[in-house]
Amino acid sequence: MTHVIDYRNRIILAPMVRVGTLPMRLLALHYGADLVYSEELIDYKLLKCKRIENELLGTVDYIDDDYQIVFRTCEKEKGQVILQVGTCSPERAVQVAKFVEKDVAGIDVNMGCPKEFSLKGGMGAALLTQREKVKAILTSLVQCTHLPVTCKIRVLEKLEDTISLGKLIESTGVKAIAVHGRTKEERPQHANRNYVIKAMAESLTIPVIANGGCGEIKSFDDIELFRQATGAACQPQLCHQGHG
């Protein structure tokens, strides 16, 4: 059975390293988020985990060899939690999707993280210039899992290059694309390029999720202003700038 998620006009908790764990996701849902993303989880690490149903806590836990919890979920976020994976391999991406598909509502591929760890591993923002690999990863996921597939990117220096990449991503069959309005070289002190996100929303037929605007969001009402400025669904980082 294919899962269906409506990404249009949604408020979405963005993926944030060391923040997007179960307590934060549940808090975000309580205060009005429609969907919540896990922090970025690396494919290798997930695939080494064991899936354990924790009857005492009522959770499903993915535990690594050191007995550390890599990912935890529960019934309260069922149908609303998206797992974000860091990967550079179509094969491992599909393995991850099949491994977790009973416990999450969708799979998101991180194609925007600018951190050295991701770049050296060929993940995150390193994929922005690897169009064939982007196509291979997303096409494989779309074809091999019943979960809706999305990805998150950063803008490129040229608007036309960003739109071209967006159209390539759209052609793979993904259900939505999140766009962080900074390049991989830019940091939170740089202005978010909302106009690029808006151009993407106008150029693509799939939903575009606006990301990177937390500097502009001080209240719930500001989320709607960010949505209007970008013409997209809204994925504010509700506490700080995420790494993706």
Q: Report whether CATH 1.10.10.10 matches the domain 12-48+80-235.
A: no
Q: Is the pTM of this model over 0.75?
A: yes
Residue range 164-208, pLDDT digits in tens: 999 999 999 999 999 999 999 998 888 999 999 999 999 999 999
Tokens (6 digits) for 107: 């799979």
User: For the chain, what are the domain ranges?
Assistant: 12-48+80-235
> How high is the pLDDT of residue 1?
61
- The residue from 113, 151, 214, 234 that is catalytic is 113
In whole angstroms, give the CA distance from residue 28 to residue 21: 11
Counting residues of the chain whose pLDDT is more than 90, the rounded percentage is 80
Q: Which of 74-88, 148-162, 171-185, 215-229 has the lowest mean pLDDT?
A: 215-229
> How high is the pLDDT of residue 24?
97
State yes or no: pLDDT of 242 exceeds 80: no
Q: Does the annotation count 113 as an active-site position?
A: yes
What average pLDDT does the chain have?
92
Residue range 42-70, pLDDT digits in tens: 999 999 999 999 999 999 999 999 999 99
